[in-house]
């Protein structure tokens, strides 16, 4: 394996639910082993305090998986949205391309003997751990009639468990060619694979059920459940609807599949999502990656850990920023987009700028991006990994302080109001009879209000608005888990030829069931056939 980034030579591991952290789900199909801990498990499932803690814990398990580098690091670099030549989390291995820069030659290494197999394991175990814990809560409440202090607290735990059951299924549907649909009624000894479409539909149904439960209740979640932010039942319903819209919109593996999405449904869900009414972001707070970790931001909002691909830099400033990386690097940007601007950064002094290879902050400093003269990646791994542009949108310290996202601390979103606006806009643009004026207004919330660019208008037509929409998605979705990858694979010419467009069931799971290993990418098919 290639050497690791010396600054980040460790791997943060998810905090996973005890119910599924140690074994793979399919083990029940081939092993008949008595669990000596079962009596304790039964007592725990009858303990109101324990079940409430499990409900809250599902949020942490899901968050650490969604924002985790194990699965997401290779995806965002393969998508050429972020760039890194470090081989932590197999990033270098999976994001390296052939000599002429047109092809990704490496399939997923779905083999028990390969170090690259861990990329496929992280999401599988993390999301099913969240689902397993959520189902324990739902079983205790719905089947065992457990009451947690009072009716309101019981309904709160039930609603969050339902939300996380759907969110876990969303993660499986977005990433794998097939998986298990598991709820509190499932017989774990008789699990059968469902197609990715069936998993997607189950996820949407579960999330809509969570929205209905939340809308029919009155509660506020404890701030500790996200390590810092409380949410009302109204907001939980909005979160559930945004997640359901994400599930439908980000599911397609190709542009052809994208055309088949029920965009009317996406528009309907997003219109009731987190940017409707009083808009908000779905935030979690990092604790230095001890138990809560915005791991993708920890890497890529630290611009000595990762950079923004030159492909994205060239979109924002095609005059100064060239793709692929040119000899000698790209010069200081002069982007009309205020999110990049001139790329200056930090305190207005040369000593600080010299340390980070940046230019002292000016009035044209970007809000989201920074320019650095440093070439931080090893040249022998391919100069195409290099980039002069870093992403600092969520570095609220403004100086790469270790007490901020740069060090794994601080509040940051995993879903934003602007992300929901763009889902809503896309639904309007792609559905039959969509409202172009509404779509343009939604696009302008970031294009004009954040970017300072010329306004999109209904009069320019759907095709032009779609191009402006895609530009906003390129800029606004950076840092929100692996969403940039899901976005890139569904647009024409989005991913390089040979790039895997979904993950196979991990070899570890296949081996337990005695099934043949298979994979995607390279010279293999990029994805399974559309169910």
Is residue 138 exposed (0-12), middle (13-18) or buried (19+ Cβ within 10 Å)? buried
Q: What are phi and psi of 44, to 5 degrees?
A: -65, -40
**How many residues are present in the chain?**
531
The pLDDT value recorded for residue 37 is: 54
Pair 465, 502 in one domain: no
Pair 192, 47 in one domain: yes
Report the pLDDT averaged over residues 261-268: 98
Decide if 407 is inside a domain. no
Give tens-digit pLDDT for 170-184: 999 999 999 999 999
Specify whether the backbone of 191 is left (phi greater than 0), alpha (psi in -120 to 50) or beta: beta
Q: What value does the mean pLDDT of the chain take? A: 92
Give tens-digit pLDDT for 181-238: 999 999 999 999 999 999 999 999 999 999 999 999 999 999 999 999 999 999 999 9
Residue 433, pLDDT > 70, answer yes
The radius of gyration of the chain from alpha carbons, rounded to an integer in Å, stands at: 23
Residues of the domain holding 310: 303-392
Decide if 403 is inside a domain. no
Decide if 339 is inside a domain. yes
pLDDT band for 5, please (50, 70, 90 cuts).
low
Residue 259, pLDDT > 60, answer yes
Residue 369 DSSP SS3: strand
**Least confident piece of the model among 5-9, 106-110, 194-198, 200-204:** 5-9
Give tens-digit pLDDT for 361-420: 999 999 999 999 999 999 999 999 999 999 999 999 988 999 999 999 999 999 999 999
What is the sign, positive or negative, of the torsion defined by CA atoms of 314, 317, 318, 324?
Answer: negative
Largest CA distance in the chain: 68
CATH number of the domain bearing residue 57? 1.25.40.390
The pLDDT value recorded for residue 16 is: 37
The pLDDT value recorded for residue 9 is: 43
Decide if 12 is inside a domain. no
Report the pLDDT averaged over residues 327-343: 98
Pair 52, 90 in one domain: yes
Report the pLDDT averaged over residues 457-467: 98
Pair 258, 341 in one domain: no
The kind and range of the H/E element at 409 are: strand 409-415
End residue of a domain, out of 392, 408, 435: 392
The pLDDT value recorded for residue 13 is: 37
The pLDDT value recorded for residue 1 is: 38
Percent of all residues in the chain with a pLDDT value above 90, rounded to a whole number: 87
Residue 161, pLDDT > 80, answer yes
The pLDDT value recorded for residue 346 is: 86
Percent of all residues in the chain with a pLDDT value above 70, rounded to a whole number: 92
Tokens of 345: 């950064």
The pLDDT value recorded for residue 305 is: 92
Residue 395 CB contacts under 8 Å (≥ 6 apart), including other chains: 301, 302, 401, 404, 405, 406
Decide if 115 is inside a domain. yes
Domains in the chain, number: 3
pLDDT band for 18, please (50, 70, 90 cuts).
very low
Residue 434, pLDDT > 90, answer yes
Pair 271, 353 in one domain: no
Residue 84, pLDDT > 50, answer yes
Pair 78, 221 in one domain: yes
pLDDT band for 29, please (50, 70, 90 cuts).
very low
Decide if 504 is inside a domain. yes
**Least confident piece of the model among 39-48, 80-89, 109-118, 498-507:** 39-48
Give tens-digit pLDDT for 276-307: 999 999 999 999 999 999 999 999 999 889 99
The pLDDT value recorded for residue 136 is: 98
Decide if 493 is inside a domain. no
Pair 223, 355 in one domain: no
Pair 234, 328 in one domain: no
pLDDT band for 105, please (50, 70, 90 cuts).
confident
Pair 47, 102 in one domain: yes
Pair 385, 427 in one domain: no
Pair 473, 503 in one domain: no
Pair 319, 365 in one domain: yes
Residue 24, pLDDT > 90, answer no
The pLDDT value recorded for residue 4 is: 59
Decide if 490 is inside a domain. no
Tokens of 105: 């030659």
């Amino acid at each position: 394996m290639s050497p690791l980034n010396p600054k980040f030579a460790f791997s943060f591991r998810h905090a996973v639910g005890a119910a599924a952290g140690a074994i793979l789900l399919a083990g029940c199909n081939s092993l008949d082993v008595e669990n000596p801990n079962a009596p304790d498990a039964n007592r725990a499932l009858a303990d109101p305090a324990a079940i409430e803690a499990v409900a809250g814990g599902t949020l942490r398990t899901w968050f650490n998986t969604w924002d985790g580098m194990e699965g997401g690091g290779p995806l965002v670099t393969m998508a050429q949205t972020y760039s890194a030549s470090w081989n932590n989390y197999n990033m270098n291995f999976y994001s390296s391309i052939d000599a002429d820069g047109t092809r990704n030659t490496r399939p997923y290494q779905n083999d028990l003997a390969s170090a690259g197999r861990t990329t496929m394991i992280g999401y599988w175990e993390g999301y099913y751990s969240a689902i397993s814990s959520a189902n324990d809560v739902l079983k205790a409440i719905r089947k065992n009639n457990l009451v947690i202090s009072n009716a309101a607290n019981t309904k709160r735990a039930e609603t969050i468990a339902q939300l996380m059951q759907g969110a876990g299924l969303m993660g499986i549907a977005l990433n794998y060619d097939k998986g298990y649909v598991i709820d509190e009624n499932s017989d774990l000894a008789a699990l059968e694979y469902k197609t990715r479409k069936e998993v997607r539909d189950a996820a949407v149904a579960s999330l809509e059920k969570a929205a209905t439960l939340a809308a029919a209740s009155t509660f506020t979640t404890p701030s500790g459940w996200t390590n810092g932010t409380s949410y009302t039942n109204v907001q939980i319903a909005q979160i559930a609807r945004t997640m359901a819209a994400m599930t439908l919109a980000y599911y397609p593996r190709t542009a052809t599949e994208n055309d088949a999405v029920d965009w009317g449904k996406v528009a309907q869900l997003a219109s009731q999502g987190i940017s409707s009414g009083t808009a908000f972001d779905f935030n979690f707070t990092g604790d230095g990656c001890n138990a809560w970790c915005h791991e993708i931001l920890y890497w890529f909002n630290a611009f000595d850990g990762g950079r923004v691909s030159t492909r994205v830099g060239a979109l924002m400033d095609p005059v100064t920023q060239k793709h692929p990386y040119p000899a000698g690097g790209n010069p200081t940007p002069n982007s009309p987009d205020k999110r990049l601007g001139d790329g200056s950064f930090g305190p207005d002094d040369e000593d600080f700028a010299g340390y980070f290879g940046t230019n002292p902050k000016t009035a044209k400093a970007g809000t989201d991006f920074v320019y650095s003269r440093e070439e931080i990646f090893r040249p022998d791994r391919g100069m195409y990994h290099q980039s002069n542009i870093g992403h600092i949108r969520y570095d609220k310290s403004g100086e790469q302080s270790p007490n901020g996202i740069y060090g794994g601390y601080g509040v940051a979103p995993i879903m934003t109001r602007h992300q929901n606006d763009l889902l809503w806009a896309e639904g309007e643009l792609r559905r039959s009879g969509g409202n172009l004026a509404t779509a343009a207004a939604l696009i302008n919330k970031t294009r004009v209000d954040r970017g300072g660019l010329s306004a999109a208008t209904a009069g320019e037509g759907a095709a032009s608005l779609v191009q402006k929409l895609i530009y906003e998605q390129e800029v606004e979705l950076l840092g929100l888990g692996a969403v940039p990858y899901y976005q890139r694979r569904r647009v024409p010419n989005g991913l390089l030829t040979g790039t895997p467009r979904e993950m196979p069931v991990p070899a570890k799971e296949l081996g337990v069931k005695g099934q043949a290993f298979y994979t995607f990418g390279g010279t293999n098919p990029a994805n399974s056939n559309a169910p």
